[in-house]
Structure 1
């Protein structure tokens, strides 16, 4: 049963990657998605937002919570889960003749997507404090998550796991802070 489930997950993942490549790949996305994904590199977009918040005394505590969220989500995703699961990235399986990687090949494991995990963790935290901007925060996180699939550095289930674990990390932060 376990191997059957893994086969189904692999079929699902590869089908979604195929659909994205066949029906969504275009010159516009080929230019935009590396930029979108770079916003998530090292939590750049979220650190920038945290820095802006920290500069304003009224929002300093929220900025510090964003930084704490990034640290916790990185420890959970990059430091623990990736090293337990050790899933190889889809770009490592692609035929180099039919596949042109648009970004530098990541060296870490694939599951879960760290970009997605940290983005959803922080987007959830920011949405709790600035609910009027929730769609913007979640939209940024979703774009970053999709960019990881589009760029063939993550499987869809890596991204789904990143969303779930990221939201759980944000909930953990709120529990600890209360």
Structure 2
């Protein structure tokens, strides 16, 4: 099963390289992937949300989810799994950006993107939440397009980020219902 998934991962990346990559899309996906560097776009959005009472709760949850994603994806899992990047393993796969300095599994860009985007989708009006999910998916796909992650890295990053977001929301609402946020509710909501 593992060998099948590895072969499928490789085949998908080579297919993207052969049939999707082009001179127009490459700079677009480089920009999209840079938005996800260190969760930058999500950090900026989260901090901006802190400035407005209507979105402050979502901003706090988003920052908590981003921290959780960083710790679980980048600190724990990447070093525990230590998966080599695809451009170092797959013959013929061309890297379109600089070599990455960490391991491949899971995709930290995708994990942080979905951690924040799921919070935004659940806590803000759909006119903001749906574009956040679309951006998260585009950031995840950009990692495949550029050749820095395997599809399973991106899928697992999206799942882990989403689970972190759901967990953060549940913890927030549990604490709220049990009075743990009593003194902060006026500030948050």
| TM-score, length of structure 2 as denominator length | 0.86
Matching residue of 2:36: 40
**Equivalent runs, 1:105-144 vs 2, <5 Å:** 105-132=99-126, 133-144=128-139
Structure with more of its chain in helix, by fraction? 1
CA gap 1:146/1:165 in 2 versus in 1, 3 angstroms = same
> How is 1:1-178 mapped onto 2 (pairs within 5 angstroms)?
5-94=1-90, 100-132=94-126, 133-177=128-172, 178=174
Shift of 1:29: 1.4
* Cα distance in structure 2, aligned partners of 1:115 and 1:109: 12
Q: Is the 8 A contact 2:50 2:57 kept in 1?
A: yes
- Note the residue ranges of structure 2 that are not aligned, 5 or more in a row: 175-189
| Matches of 2:130 and 2:60, distance apart in 1 | 22
Paired residues, number: 172
Q: CA deviation at 1:149?
A: 0.3
Listed one character per residue, the Cα deviations across residues 31-73 of structure 1 (whole Å, up to 9, x for unaligned) are 1111000000011111111121112233223212211110011
Report the alpha carbon displacement of residue 129 of structure 1 after superposing the two structures with TM: 0.9
Q: Distance in 2 between matches of 1:76 and 1:150?
A: 24
Partners of 1:138 and 1:49 in 2: CA distance: 13
Aligned Cα RMSD in Å? 1.4
Cα distance between partner residues in 2 of 1:33 and 1:22: 16
Greater radius of gyration (CA): 2
Q: Distance in 2 between matches of 1:8 and 1:94?
A: 15
Q: Deviations over 1:98-120 (max 9, x none)?
A: 55532221111101000001101
Q: Normalised by the size of structure 1, how large is the TM-score?
A: 0.91
